[in-house]
């Protein structure tokens, strides 16, 4: 079993009952700043049997999920604009998910396999027909069934692991769809070509039956890890005399998110590593990730979808330069090779990754897949770090470790507009981040304290200007109408301290400029958080963890006035804020180890004054999470 990524291209020829005809080009170029394109990610499972003659026969089932769509709503698909008897129209089709059930036959002349494959194929698509004069849109769904055939090569890359490169041609034949509002029927074919790169884990004694018993490459050259997390959150009805566009619904709600990530690494040269993290995501946060500045799930992104979709979340190069001192051993992990490094070293990271992969780290509260879930607990709420809606960006960072000290600095790309899906291709909107960290022992127990600062440069609005404009126009405060190129900065403190071998504590506090809108993260101008993390060794469950934390978030007086004038922030905006108050959150969780690699977590959060509004709430959020990692 394993996963794959690939790129698709092809065409679809369509006709209408009125005699119109056209075609769709299914190829969409990759946009590095939005992540859109006609690529996909997926999962597969199968069984192979090798005959004494070294011929291999087998069967496989797979499913694939296209990338997040472009502004037209297209991933693998296309659009056509044309004139019809009812006026100008736009027709489009895009794949939501697809899959195959195939047999394969091949020959393994050595430690590699050359094979041919073919079988049944299916696709679940969404079609759209928009009447451009009125904006009326039909958007039906349609199943396509057909066949697939192709060929590939597979090689061992590590014990139990093989990699493959595969070409696949798929033909779905003809199908038709009725667009009821327009009273038109479209008939179309669909032929698609794919180039796939895949990775498979071979069960058994360590040999790879499909390839033979020949030796595999040194496992220290490549590294593979993975994870999948399913998280559900819900809350019952709460006091809500009014609500705005960015409010939690007072009637109560339940939502789920799911993701699966591959962490694939290869050593390039001494001290250098390349890491790529394709990911499949699905689901929504509560209220579409709105309503609370300290949002209750850091597994929920600012954009979501009912159907799974693929993303390349990270793709970066890391260079470690040892500078001397004691030698430390590091275990293999997510985006980490097993290696030895010196205490004094320089680490350079360049590419696409998350700013908080490097900055604002904390042993006890930083991983929403394993520990706390709340945004303002796993990260400092005021740390308005550069990111797209999924939390990633392009940039470069340097870390200098010297004795008990570490100095970090980085330059990162901001979105083209605050809280926008597109990162700035010109780097005109950018952010500097700096951090200094001191490690120490307190009565024989390790701890560390770090101070982090950021400075964002981009087109941002000031709350005073938005309020002044609203007074002139008589409308609501609109921050987008007063944006100009300026700076916004902030500073934070992050402390972690082991109290006993089983008990640890953390403290976070931060401040950011409350006169200017936050750019990427959340609507928080000041924050203070603290918590405890207790290992279950004392009650015979050494892989269990229980956590308790609290956070208080606040905003400036002018920020409160902006929200009271109907302004909307990144996450909050109830339409008015006559009685502002600090957002106060308590979170507790218990992580139960089903096995060494699988954890089941129950979590509860109490949220007072959601969105800084004393008129609404409190909110009781209940969560369940299951996480598997290898």
Instruction: Give me the average pLDDT of each 10-residue run along the chain (630 residues).
Output: 95 91 94 95 94 94 96 93 87 96 94 95 95 89 96 91 96 92 90 96 62 55 94 98 97 97 95 97 97 97 94 97 93 92 96 98 97 98 97 98 97 95 96 98 96 98 97 95 97 98 98 97 98 96 97 98 97 97 98 96 98 97 97
Judge whether 2-201 and 321-629 match in fold.
Answer: yes
The pLDDT score that the predictor gives to residue 182 is 82
What Cα–Cα distance (Å) separates residue 596 from each residue in 160, 254, 265, 352, 600?
A: 20, 29, 23, 30, 11
Show me where the domains of the chain are located.
2-201, 321-629
The pLDDT score that the predictor gives to residue 218 is 59
- In this structure, CATH architecture of domain 2-201: Beta Barrel (2.40)
The pLDDT score that the predictor gives to residue 355 is 98
Helix axes 463-473, 557-564, angle to 10 degrees: 30
The helix/strand/coil state of 466 is helix
Question: Residue 199 and residue 158: Cα distance in Å, rounded?
Answer: 11
Say if pTM beats, i.e. exceeds, 0.85.
Answer: yes
The helix/strand/coil state of 238 is coil
CB 317 within 8 Å of CB 353: no
Measured in whole angstroms, the distance separating CA 30 from the mean position of its chain's CA atoms is 18
Which residue in this structure is represented by tokens 């924050």? Answer: 527
The pLDDT score that the predictor gives to residue 577 is 97
The pLDDT score that the predictor gives to residue 208 is 46
Q: Which two tokens stand for residue 171?
A: 């033909």
The pLDDT score that the predictor gives to residue 217 is 54
Residue 539 has φ and ψ, to the nearest 5°, of: -115, 30
The pLDDT score that the predictor gives to residue 276 is 97
The pLDDT score that the predictor gives to residue 206 is 46
CATH of the domain spanning 321-629, picked from 2.40.160, 1.10.101, 1.10.3470, 2.60.120? 2.40.160
Q: Which two tokens stand for residue 599?
A: 């954890």
The pLDDT score that the predictor gives to residue 500 is 96
Question: Residue 35 and residue 520: Cα distance in Å, rounded?
Answer: 17
**Count of all residues that appear for the chain in the document:** 630
SS3 of 297-366: the string is CCCCCCCCEEEEEEEEEEEEEEEEEEEEEEEEEECCECCECCEEEEEEEEEEEEEEECHHHCCCCCCCCC
């Amino acid at each position: 079993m394993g996963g794959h990524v690939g790129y698709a291209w092809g065409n679809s020829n369509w006709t209408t009952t009125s005699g119109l005809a056209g075609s769709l080009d299914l190829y969409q170029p990759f946009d590095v700043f939005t992540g859109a394109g006609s690529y996909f990610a997926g999962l597969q499972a199968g069984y192979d049997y090798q005959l004494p003659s070294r011929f291999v026969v087998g069967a496989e089932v797979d499913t694939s999920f296209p990338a997040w769509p472009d502004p037209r709503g297209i991933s693998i698909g296309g659009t056509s604009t044309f004139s019809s008897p009812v006026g100008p129209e736009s027709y489009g089709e895009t794949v939501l998910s697809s899959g195959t059930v195939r047999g394969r036959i091949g020959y393994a002349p050595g430690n590699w396999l050359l094979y041919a494959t073919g079988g049944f194929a299916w696709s679940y698509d969404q079609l759209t027909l928009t009447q451009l004069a009125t904006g009326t849109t039909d958007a039906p769904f349609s199943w396509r069934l057909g066949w697939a055939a192709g060929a590939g090569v597979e090689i061992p890359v590590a014990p139990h692991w093989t990699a493959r490169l595969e070409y696949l041609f798929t033909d779905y034949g003809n199908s038709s769809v009725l667009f009821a509002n327009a009273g038109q029927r479209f008939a179309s074919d669909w032929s698609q070509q794919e180039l796939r790169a895949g990775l498979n884990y071979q069960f058994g004694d360590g040999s790879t039956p499909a390839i033979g018993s020949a030796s595999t490459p040194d496992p220290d050259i490549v590294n593979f890890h993975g994870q999948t997390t399913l998280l559900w959150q819900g809350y019952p009805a709460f006091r809500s005399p009014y609500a705005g566009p960015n409010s939690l619904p007072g009637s109560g709600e339940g939502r789920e998110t799911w993701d699966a990530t591959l962490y694939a690494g290869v050593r390039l040269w001494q001290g250098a590593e390349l890491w790529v993290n394709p990911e499949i995501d699905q689901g929504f946060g509560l209220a579409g990730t709105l309503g609370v500045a300290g949002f209750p799930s850091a597994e929920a992104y600012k954009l979501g979808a009912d159907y799974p979709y693929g993303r390349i979340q990270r793709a970066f190069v890391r260079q470690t330069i040892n500078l001397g001192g004691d030698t430390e051993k590091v275990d293999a992990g997510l985006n980490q090779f097993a290696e030895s490094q010196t205490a004094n070293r320089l680490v350079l990271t360049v590419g696409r990754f998350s700013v908080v992969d490097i900055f604002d780290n904390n042993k006890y509260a930083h991983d929403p897949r394993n520990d706390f879930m709340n945004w303002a607990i796993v990260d400092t709420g005021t740390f308005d770090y550069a990111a797209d809606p999924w939390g990633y960006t392009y940039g470069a960072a340097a870390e200098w470790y010297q004795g008990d000290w570490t100095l970090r600095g980085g330059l990162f790309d901001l979105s083209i507009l605050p809280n926008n899906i597109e990162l700035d291709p010109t780097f005109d909107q950018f952010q500097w981040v700096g951090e200094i960290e001191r490690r120490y022992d307190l009565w024989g127990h390790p701890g560390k304290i770090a101070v982090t600062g950021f400075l964002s440069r981009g087109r941002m609005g000031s709350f005073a200007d938005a309020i002044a404009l609203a007074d002139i126009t008589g409308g609501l405060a609109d921050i987008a109408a007063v944006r100009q190129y300026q700076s916004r900065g902030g500073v934070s403190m992050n402390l972690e301290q082991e109290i006993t071998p089983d008990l640890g504590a953390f403290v976070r506090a931060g401040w950011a400029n409350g006169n200017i809108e936050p750019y990427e993260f959340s609507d928080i101008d000041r924050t203070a958080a603290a918590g405890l993390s207790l290992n279950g060794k004392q009650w015979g469950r050494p892989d269990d963890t229980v956590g308790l934390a609290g956070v208080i978030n606040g905003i400036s007086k002018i920020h409160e006035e902006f929200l009271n004038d109907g302004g909307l922030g990144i996450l909050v905006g109830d339409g008015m804020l006559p009685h502002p108050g600090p957002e106060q959150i308590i979170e507790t969780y218990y992580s139960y180890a089903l096995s060494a690699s699988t954890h089941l977590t129950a979590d509860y959060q109490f949220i007072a004054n959601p969105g800084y509004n004393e008129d609404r709430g409190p909110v009781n959020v209940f969560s369940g999470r299951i996480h598997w990692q290898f």
